[in-house]
Amino acid sequence: MTRDAKGSEGTLDPTRRSARRRRGALRALCLMLALVLLGCAGRQPVKQGVSRVNKPIMRRGSALEKDITNFLRAGYLLLEAEARFEETFKDAAGEATKEGRGFGAHMIVVYENLLPEVLAAAAAPVFMAEPPFSSERFDQELRELTPSQFTIFYWSRPDTPLPLGLYFHPTLPIETREQIGDIPAVQVRAVIRGSPASMGYVLNDDVVTHVDGAPVPGDPKALIASLVPKRGNRVTFTVLRDGDSQDKVVALYP
């Protein structure tokens, strides 16, 4: 260090001492932040799964039918649906948020000007064949719903893994029956993403005709009942897809 950089007694002058202390403090702060970030990165979250709802989502009424299919595929369960008659979205969303948080909704969707014909099309029965999901409450909520200025749907997504992960049509659609004839079968309406069925490459609209080589019952409830003893094992589903018969191996969760 040169003479100019020192004071009369060979020490740093006050200005340089102050700058040096600031640099030291800045390095210490950066080191502290780095340690905090490393600790956060290595820490496991306390609770896995979907966080609770923050703000309701606003959608056009015409999107309802498509939304329902997408939410089912994402593994959501309908908790409740209700009509609200507030004058503004802000008012309806505010009340819906309070109620949704009260019973643990993960997602709240507000539909504006939901037309009766759109609701009727969306209310076509679906059947989820395994707990903790059930379409009975789902169908009841839609049947009892009256379209209004704002219609609220409250959704939850349980953390419990599903043994299979399929929604079935409750009865075989007429056009499918005409194509396949009188053979017993059930048709898939939606496959939950990440479920054993999706990892076994079962697709929407697949027609299931056999399980492990045996003909399936024509009732989805009976089909699922027959799979209960097979949980934790690999099961071969024979499906009709675009006129072709294919075998799909699904590893059922216990």
43 falls within a domain: no
Q: Which of 134, 156, 178 is the last residue of a domain?
A: 156
Do 135 and 189 have their domain in common? no
The owner of tokens 């049947």 is 143
Q: How confident is the model at residue 27 (pLDDT cuts 50, 70, 90)?
A: low
- Based on the structure, what is the number of domains in the chain? 2
Do 102 and 138 have their domain in common? yes
222 falls within a domain: yes
Do 87 and 144 have their domain in common? yes
Do 129 and 175 have their domain in common? no
184 falls within a domain: yes
4 falls within a domain: no
What tokens were used for 183?
Answer: 């053979």
The predicted pLDDT at position 123 comes to 64
Residue-wise burial string across 77-103, b where 16 or more C-beta atoms lie within 10 A, e elsewhere: bbbbbbbbeeeeeeebbeebbeebeee
pTM: 0.61
Dist. CA 5–CA 2, nearest whole Å: 5
Dist. CA 176–CA 183, nearest whole Å: 11
Dist. CA 207–CA 196, nearest whole Å: 17
Q: Which of 123, 156, 189 is the last residue of a domain?
A: 156
28 three-state secondary structure = helix
The predicted pLDDT at position 163 comes to 82
Do 216 and 143 have their domain in common? no
Do 247 and 172 have their domain in common? yes
The predicted pLDDT at position 30 comes to 52
Do 104 and 174 have their domain in common? no
CATH number at residue 195: 2.30.42.10
Full residue range of the structural domain in which residue 118 is found: 57-156
The predicted pLDDT at position 213 comes to 94
Do 148 and 182 have their domain in common? no
What tokens were used for 213?
Answer: 């080589």
Dist. CA 131–CA 126, nearest whole Å: 14
Do 190 and 110 have their domain in common? no
Q: Which of 126, 156, 186 is the last residue of a domain?
A: 156
153-178 pLDDT, tens digit per residue, is 888 887 777 788 888 888 888 999 99
Q: How confident is the model at residue 114 (pLDDT cuts 50, 70, 90)?
A: confident
The predicted pLDDT at position 35 comes to 41
Dist. CA 178–CA 170, nearest whole Å: 17
